[in-house]
Amino acid sequence: MNLASDDALILAVSDYSETSQIVTLFTAHNGKLRALAKGSKRPKSPFGGPIDRLQLVQAVFSVRAPGGLGLLTELAQRETFPGLRANLRNFYAASYAAELAIAATPDLDPQPEIFKILADTLRRLSSTTESDILLFRFEVRLLGLLGLRPPLDQCVACHRLREPARGGFFSPPVGGLLCRQCAQLQPDAAGRQPVAFKVAGKALDALLFLAAAGDDELGRVRLAVATAADMRRLLAAHWQYVLDRPLRAAHWVS
């Protein structure tokens, strides 16, 4: 059996049997994979007790073909992000980030940058009161790394630049933002108007800012409730469209 050793975030855990669990790992260098943890729920578990999700570990595992089930043979705790268990809002944000990472990445596709921003996000969520800002930032950075970030600084139809603070009309099927004229004038191939909804300029500006913001710039961000709601609506619609399915944890962060 070929074994790999890697840093890994445990993103999901499910029961396999009365004594064993299946863990979904997002590893630093081997991408995402699922592995069977034999006997993990036994009193004398080789993993030190039942395995909990949302922690950073050093894992040793066998690698199976995409979609297959590997075998987890060793696990050493590195970071448990205790603050996530002490604050429901942060726990929900972390759960949503984990579900997004699972849904948006294929198995065994090494994504060290995504591993890095995900670990960083869970670490920060463990000690913050600004879970909204951290989660929005994770989402726009994840979209960027996946090549799926919609342009928010210009109209995707006429390419006219959007002035800062000016709102627009977001259309998931069109893949981005439409100016007022194009939102009214651009029928699709069947002659239908595009499905688009209005997004305030502040929300678009904030998403653009967070996509490029350094760690030391996050403290400058203040989001009004209405702005955060607009940002959430835009991202939820975009994820739903690109993933082609709803996310279970979406209602926790809406």
Closer by beta carbon to Zn ion, 70 or else 194? 194
Stretch touching Zn ion by CB under 5 A, among 50-58, 64-72, 121-129, 152-160: 152-160
User: What is the residue whose two structure tokens read 């890095």?
Assistant: 116
Looking at 51, 140, 152, 155, which residue binds Zn ion (CB under 5 A)?
155
Closest alpha carbon to 56 in 127, 110, 123: 123
**150 with 238: CB under 8 angstroms?**
yes
Q: Cα 58–84–140 angle (5° rounding)?
A: 85
Among 63, 84, 134, 182, interactor with Zn ion by CB under 5 A: 182
Piece of the chain touching Zn ion by CB under 5 A; list 13-21, 124-132, 181-189, 222-230: 181-189
Cβ-contact 32, 108 below 8 angstroms: yes
Q: Segment near Zn ion (CB under 5 A), from 73-81, 87-95, 155-163, 225-233? A: 155-163
Measured CA distances, 149 to 6, 129, 205 (Å): 29, 26, 14
Residue 140 Cβ, how far from Zn ion at the closest point, in Å? 22
Among 22, 51, 152, 179, binds Zn ion (CB under 5 A): 179
- Told to check if 152 binds Zn ion by CB under 5 A, we report no
- Which among 59, 68, 46 is positioned nearest to 9, based on CA atoms? 59
- Are the C-beta atoms of 101 and 111 separated by less than 8 Å? no
* Residue 196 is a binding residue for Zn ion (CB under 5 A): no
Binding site for Zn ion (CB under 5 A): 155, 157-158, 179, 182
